[in-house]
Every structure is written in structure tokens, then in C-alpha cells.
Structure 1
Amino acid sequence: MARAIWTGALGFGLVNVPVGLYSATEDKSVHFNQFERGTSSRIRYRRINEDTGEEVDYDDIVKGEEIGDGRYVIVAPEELEEIAPGRSRVIDISDFVDVAEIDPIYYQKTYYLAPQDDQAQRAYALLLQAMERAGRVGIATFVMRSKQYLAAIRPQGEVLTLETMFFADEVRDPVDEIEQLPVRQSFTSRDLDMAVSLIDSMTTEWDPGNYRDTYRDRVNELIEAKRRGDEVVTEGEPETASNVVDLMEALSASVANAKGHRPGNAQDTGGLTTRRAGADADGGDADRPGEDLGDLSKKELYDQAQELDVAGRSTMTKDELEDAVRAARQGDGRASKAS
């Protein structure tokens, strides 16, 4: 069971609800250490004085803000502590707004808010149900780890969530950041209708389970293959069309291709092939009786093609994968009989 990373109270008018803050998300990226190539020696970093070349103890390090011309204003840690936000333990809701009014660009990270004890349960439930009925989001400020945060509090099922937010001056203006701003264009009704038709054909109900980090999957596959000592072969990615110059031609082709659209990116695959060390590249599984390949998804067909080491599978359509898997199985069957 996770522990609260912050405890305090949620202030709602004159009502204070004791709550704990819990991380609602986790980073599942693959994190690597660094080594010198060809060795098992880890790379370490030290704090070095660039003038003397000597290592500096952490306690002797202060911070500096550059003010131009290579000059800095030096600030000591104790000076920052004196002006740090107070150690208030209250998430103070100051306003309620319509959630549709908040641009998602302001959202930063999501946490769960939970009652600290049994005595807080009733007040917590009252606030949760009142916010559900009102259809509003609470806007609050609070201090965590010597930093002040702006936050949006909203009901989500049986719990309240807290989204830390960027302050207004932390969101960049696209006019200042983008060298070539988009220019308003004019289109005929037919052009717009075709674009809307494409959007409609690709519209589905939101299901986060439809989406995977396919790059992370390939990284984990690579690590596992190298752990087993397998040979790793990387195939090229499917070529993308680079010679389409007619926007409406491309749009029309997209509408045709979107028929039978499957939601999510789970069918996306990479070009990583692994073979057991010393294994014959043409080896594979025997035919699986009773299984109709036509009933399998493209992802399932791709997985079987990968098991059978079908060449060029990353660029195949679903029908091509089905034919290739069937042919590979038949080939394996003949090989087994011959042996």
C-alpha cells in the first residue's frame, strides 16, 4: 500500500477535511545506467570547480542567477529558506470554476486526495458529492516541499483528484515561441465535409487501455533478448508516403483507409526480430489446429509472425500477415514431417 507523500487539510469555506496526497500516476520508462563502452565500469558524475578542477562538497555549493554579461547574483540556501512559502498544511480552495473553462495546457501532474482517518470520512464525502452535483472544479493553492502550487480539485468516481497546475506566467505564448505561426486558410464546404468525415470515421469512445507505449515494449523485448543471449535483428520501419502533393487526394485516400478503423495504437508494431542463439532462422511453431487465422487481430497475427520469424512483417497488412503466417506454418509442418 502506498504512503501519502503529503498530509494536511483540504479547506472548503470554514470546513477543513484532513487528507493525504497520493501519486495517481507512475513513470514506467526504462531507465538505464551509463557504462564505458566495452567495460562493466559505471560512469559517475562529480561536482567540479571549473577553475581549479577540484571536487566541491555539496555543503559548499550556493546558487546563482545569471543577470547578463557573465555576471551572477549569488544566493545562499539559508537566504532562500527565509523567504520560502510558509509550511501551511492546508489546501485552500479559493474558487470553483467550470472544468471546460480550464485549458489542459495548465495541467501538470495528478494526485489522489484521500481522507486521513475515519473522522474525516463524512466531511470528505460531503465535499465529493457536492462537487459532483455542482459540476465544478475547485481551484486552490498549497505548499509541498518548500514550493507553492496552483491546483485543480475535481471528483473522479469515489475519490477527489488534485491536479497541480502551471501558473499563468509559466505558460508560453505561441506568438513568442513559434517562428512560423499557422495562417488562417479558406476551404470549400466539400473539403471541410471530407475532413470531418475522416474525423467521424476515426471517432471512438475513450478507452485508455487501447493505447500502449510500443517503444517501451520494444526496449524491454531488446533487454530480455540480450539477457537470454539471443541474436537481435532490427528491420526497417515501414516507408511513409513522401510524394503526396495533393492535399485532397491524400485526404480522400485517408477516408478510404479509415473504413474498419480500430481504436488505439495497440496494432502498431516495431521492427525488432529476435532469434535464439544458434537457432535456424526458418524455425517456428507447428500448425495450431482449430485456430482460424481470419478471427485474429492484426496485432495477434503480427505476434505469430514474429514467433515464426516472418521476414518483412512490419510492413504487411492484416491480410498479408494472415497469408504469411499460414504459409510459414505449412512450411514448418513439412519440415517436421521430413525430419
Structure 2
Amino acid sequence: MDEVAQAVWTGWISFGLVSMPVRLFPATREHLVQLHEVHAADGSRIRHRRVCEAEGREVDWQEVAKGYQTADGRTVVLREEDLEALPLPSRHVIEVLGFVPVDGLDPILFSRAYYAAPQQDLARRPYALLVAALTRAERAAVAKVTLCTRERLAAVWPRRETLVVQTLLWPEEVREPGGPAVSAPLTGQELELGSLLMAQLPEPDFSSLHDEYAAALQQLVTAKETGGELARLADPEPAVDLVAALEASLRTAADRKSTR
């Protein structure tokens, strides 16, 4: 684990009467291309300022608090010390509620992933126990945790001898597919060809896959600076004859496989 990363949460993991102090660190980092907001007419930067509506002046971060609007329109000001006193057990304890098979978790529920590290020497044995027990049982623990002022469901499982705390969406936050998923009748030949194509295509090597957005953006910037033009990528053509498209795809996949 990259110990340079800053802990985003400090507390306890508890299962039964076994508890251990842990810290949570972000398990992922996104490669973001930074774009600034500018005035389209002259390219000058756009700045967002914190202005108090009542006083009409810009305020410092030290003066900013959270506000909760009541049903009758009043605003209750909540400061950090108020939120620290929130009577919610999951703010400080990730309490295991039960266990489920790892493959029993619906991937659509997955949100953010964190690594949990034992915070003290006395936590190392119960930490190792939970890692080993989850690995042997091929199960994930389901718990609740509060991060960034929100209580979340979480799944806890081992990855390379380290516990991952994966926050989950609440079931009511997931939309059902509804209208767009309209089924259409398939022939046996179409289904057979589709299965053959799946078998022909190789498993992707994730270590060789990279984000190409930054390179494409650099090409765009260079073209804008030099007055050049970018070649437009053609949109895929819809498959009018599904069988013919599948057969052509199979031939292409076989040719690529033979030239490796």
C-alpha cells in the first residue's frame, strides 16, 4: 500500500466481539486532464468566488459552514464540531452486519474503493484473521460506514493480503432499466454465431490498456494552435444484416488470431 496517500477515515472495524483500529486510504487514483473554465471571447480565466448573499462580500473558507433548511424555510447552521458530535455509530465503526459470497454482489452497486490498514500493532492479528477467514470462505463482509457526511453500505474483502472497503450504493439509488432494454427475437443461427465470436475474441490484457484521452486532447490543442484540422472518426455503421456482420467479424477475428 502506498503509505504516502493520506488517510481519509480513522476508526474501527468490528465483527462480533472482535474489533481493530484501522485507517482507510483511497485504493484508486484517476488520471484527470485538467481543463480550466475560461471566457470564450478572450481566453481569460473564470473565477468562482464565495459570496455571502446577505452581506454581498467574499468570505474566507474559515467562515464557511454547512446549512440545513427546515420545512418552514429557516436555515440551521452546522459547524464541523457539530457534525463531529453526530450520534451515528458508523462514523467511527465499520460494523460487520453479515457475510455474502463475493460473486453475489451486484457490480452496479459498487462506488469507491479504499484500503484498510491496521492502525496499531494490537490490530495486526485480528486484521490477519479477517483477511484469512474471508479468503478461505470466498465471502465478503457487508457493513455500514459514514464517509464525507454520508452513511454508506460497504463490502469488505481481501485483495493481496489487504482488506478493501468498497462503498456501495443503497438499493434505492439504483434505477431499473425500464424502457431502453427492449428485447427482440433472435434466430438460433444468430445466437450460435454470437457465441462463436465471443469465443474467438481474446481476453483483454488490462496492463496494456491506457487512457488515450490526454493524447487526443493534445492533438486537438496542437490543431487549434496551428490552424490545422483533425480527421473526424467515422461512426460505426449499424448492422442491417446481423448474420453477415457476425460472419465477417468471425473472419476478422480468425485472421488476427493467425497473425499473432
Listed as ranges, the gaps of 5+ residues in structure 1 are 263-293, 298-339
**Aligned partner of residue 256 in structure 1, secondary structure:** helix
- Corresponding residue number in structure 2 for 1:272: none
Flag the 1:218–1:53 CA change in 2: closer, same or farther, 3 A. Answer: farther
Flag the 1:61–1:116 CA change in 2: closer, same or farther, 3 A. Answer: closer
Alignment equivalent of 2:213, drawn from 212, 215, 218: 215
Flag the 1:243–1:47 CA change in 2: closer, same or farther, 3 A. Answer: same
Question: Does the 8 A contact of 1:4 with 1:20 survive in 2?
Answer: yes
Alignment equivalent of 2:246, drawn from 251, 270, 275: 251
Any idea what the Cα deviations from partners look like across 1:131-174, whole Å, max 9, x if unmatched? 10011000001223332121000111121111001011111122
- Corresponding residue number in structure 2 for 1:106: 109
**Aligned partner of residue 193 in structure 1, secondary structure:** helix
Please give the alpha-carbon distance, in whole angstroms, between the structure 2 residues aligned to 1:128 and 1:111: 15
Please give the alpha-carbon distance, in whole angstroms, between the structure 2 residues aligned to 1:110 and 1:116: 18
- Corresponding residue number in structure 1 for 2:25: 22
Displacement of 1:117 in angstroms is 2.5
- Corresponding residue number in structure 2 for 1:78: 78
Alignment equivalent of 1:162, drawn from 146, 162, 165: 165
Displacement of 1:242 in angstroms is 3.0
Flag the 1:83–1:60 CA change in 2: closer, same or farther, 3 A. Answer: closer
Give the total of aligned pairs: 250
Displacement of 1:219 in angstroms is 2.3
Question: Does the 8 A contact of 1:7 with 1:89 survive in 2?
Answer: yes
RMSD: 3.4
Which fold has the larger relative contact order, with Cα–Cα distance below 8 Å and residues 6 or more apart in sequence?
2
Alignment equivalent of 2:132, drawn from 129, 133, 136: 129
Please give the alpha-carbon distance, in whole angstroms, between the structure 1 residues aligned to 2:207 and 2:189: 35
Please give the alpha-carbon distance, in whole angstroms, between the structure 2 residues aligned to 1:45 and 1:97: 46
Please give the alpha-carbon distance, in whole angstroms, between the structure 2 residues aligned to 1:86 and 1:60: 20
Flag the 1:244–1:102 CA change in 2: closer, same or farther, 3 A. Answer: closer
> Within 5 A, what are the aligned runs for 1:1-339?
1-37=4-40, 39=42, 41-46=44-49, 54-55=56-57, 57=59, 59=64, 62-64=67-69, 73-78=73-78, 81=83, 84-86=86-88, 88-175=91-178, 178=179, 180-183=180-183, 185-204=184-203, 207-220=205-218, 231=226, 233-242=228-237, 244-261=239-256
**Structure showing greater Rg:** 1
Question: Does the 8 A contact of 1:85 with 1:148 survive in 2?
Answer: no
Listed as ranges, the gaps of 5+ residues in structure 2 are none
